[in-house]
Every structure is written in C-alpha cells, then in structure tokens.
Chains A and B, each alone.
Chain A
C-alpha cells in the first residue's frame, strides 16, 4: 500500500501536467513500514531519456540524480521508497517497458495519467517478487503525513 499525503499527490500531478507532452518523473521519499510505503516528500527529476522525440513515451532517471536525492534523503532521515512517472494520453498502467527497466520489488511505481495536459488517473504498482510483472497496490491519499 502507498500512503500519499494530498499535497504531494497534487505536486506529482502538477509535475506530470507541466512535463506534458513528455513523461515526467521523480522519486518518492519516506519510509517503508510493514509493507506500507509512506510518502513524506516527492522530488521531481529531469527525464534524461536520450532521444528527445521519444520522451512523450519514455523516461529515464539519471543515476547521479538518484544518488544525490538519496544522500539528501538520508541526511533528513528518509529513504527512497518509490518512483513516480507520468503517462501522457495513456492509462496509468505499468507497461512492458516499465517492467523491462524496473529494479527491485518493494519500490512503489506511481503512475499518473495526463490527458491533454491535465492530470487524470493515478495508480501505483509493485514489481512481483519473481519480476514477472506488476501488481497494483492500493493508494491511500491522506490529508497530511500520518
């Protein structure tokens, strides 16, 4: 389950909209407790997919950006607990490409659908332990950190 404070949910949706028609992306920070990923902050990052014309349907996060976010998170007592990205004009469903380029099970993969530049559906996914696919996880949007 992903616990997502409403202001951060809105921040992620706004980043997806601002990135349109490209995919926007970033990292979720917080803590992992008893199977729940509890978000405390979201850090938008550049989509560094190398082919500009493919950015409407591809994203990549630079490893150096991840490193910097993780170090900053560590200094604040937080962990990287997930990745968010947007699907412009496409459902918020984890795709075969998301699967092919996923990392370890346990991270939340929050996907926001953007339709014509406006945020729509947001759904979160977890990689299955055998890496064979994604399963959807519940998202609980809360008023503030709980």
Chain B
C-alpha cells in the first residue's frame, strides 16, 4: 500500500484526511485509486486525462518526472506527495 499526502486545501475533498492509503503498482494506478476513493479530488489534480500543469508528484522526495512519470513503479510503504508549482508577479 502507498500513502499519499494530501495538500491542505484539498482535504475537504479527501474526507478531511491529510493522508490517504491507496493500492496500485505504479504512480498512475495509485492516483487512479485515490480519485476513485475521493472523486472530488480528480478535478483539482487532473485536466482531462493529464495532471494539471501545476501539479507535481513526488515519490519519497523525488519528482516522478525525473523517474518514469506515471509509470514509475511503487513498492510497499512508499509515500507520494502532491506539490504545486507556484509562480506569479505583477
């Protein structure tokens, strides 16, 4: 099982939970299981079938884009973090 840490503003859509335990052999499957359990999260994480442009997934402190993305294999006791990209200006 994989633990996914839920960002503070998304917790109203995860039943108030700061972490959710999911199954899945890959990052993509784990995210699918997360949004199956908590469908309201999907719109906040995905734009269609793709992750929103500002959404980054970290596996045990490493951005999965530098691994195999959604195909990155998971081991038991892995932890995923959902980290937003933030920028702005005048």
Partner of A67, one of B9, B18, B83, B88: B83
| Interface residues in B, total, Cβ within 8 A | 24
Chain A residues numbered 45-60 whose CB sits less than 8 Å from any CB in chain B: 49, 54, 57-60
Partner of B58, one of A49, A67, A80: A67
* Interface membership of B10, Cβ < 8 A: yes
The size class of the interface chain A forms with chain B is 35 or more
CA distance A57 to B8 in the complex (A): 28
Q: Is B84 an interface residue (CB 8 A)?
A: yes
Q: Shortest distance in angstroms between A88's beta carbon and chain B's nearest beta carbon?
A: 8
A103 interface contact, C-beta 8 A: yes
- Is A105 interfacial (CB 8 A cutoff)? yes
Segment at the B interface, from A5-13, A94-102, A116-124, A138-146: A94-102
B8 touches A66 (CB 8 A): no
Which listed residue, B8, B54, B56, B88, touches A32 by the CB 8 Å rule? B8
CA distance A81 to B12 in the complex (A): 14
Question: Hey, what's the 0/1 contact readout for A63-94 against B, CB within 8 Å counting as 1?
Answer: 11011001100100001110101010010001
**Does B89 contact A57, Cβ atoms closer than 8 Å?**
yes
For B83, the chain A residues whose CB sits under 8 A away are 63, 66-67, 70
Q: Does B75 have its Cβ within 8 Å of any Cβ on chain A?
A: no
Q: Is the CB of A103 within 8 A of B85?
A: yes
Interface centre among A70, A85, A109, by most B CB within 10 Å? Answer: A70
A89 to B65, CA, bound (A): 37
Which residues of A are in contact with B by a Cβ distance under 8 Å?
Answer: 23, 32, 49, 54, 57-61, 63-64, 66-67, 70-71, 74, 79-81, 83, 85, 87, 90, 94-95, 97-98, 101-107, 109
20 A-B pairs in the complex with CB atoms less than 8 angstroms apart = A32-B8, A32-B9, A49-B87, A49-B89, A58-B88, A59-B87, A60-B86, A61-B85, A63-B56, A63-B83, A67-B83, A70-B81, A74-B5, A79-B8, A95-B88, A102-B54, A103-B86, A106-B8, A106-B9, A107-B8
